[in-house]
Amino acid sequence: MDSDVIFVVGVVITVLSIPAIVSAFSDSRSPRVSAIVVLIGALMIGYAVNTKPGAYNFETLPDVFVSVVGKIIN
C-alpha cells in the first residue's frame, strides 16, 4: 500500500471518530472504541510520515488527498 493512501485513510478515520467521542462524552459513557480508532488513525498517520519524511505538511495535504482520490477513481 502506498504511504499516501495510508496517510489519507488515517486522517479520514481519525476525523470520523471525533463525533463518536463527543457523543460518548455527552452520554456519560467512556469512549473506548472511539479512542482505539483514534489510536489506529494516529498510528497510520505516523507510519506514513515516518515512511516519507518531509512529504506531508499543510500546503501539500490537498494535493495528497486529490492524488489518492484520483488513484481510487481511475
pLDDT, one tens digit per residue, over 23-37 is: 999 998 888 999 999
Domain that holds residue 16: 3-73
Q: Residue 56's closest CA among 2, 7, 5?
A: 7
d(CA 51, CA 65): 17
**pLDDT at site 8:** 95
pTM of the model: 0.86
**pLDDT at site 55:** 84
Domain total in the chain: 1
d(CA 64, CA 6): 11
pLDDT, one tens digit per residue, over 10-68 is: 999 999 999 999 999 999 888 899 999 999 999 999 999 999 888 888 898 999 999 99
Q: Residue 6's closest CA among 42, 54, 36?
A: 42
Read off the amino acid at residue 68. Answer: V
What is the C-alpha radius of gyration for the chain, rounded to an integer number of angstroms?
Answer: 14
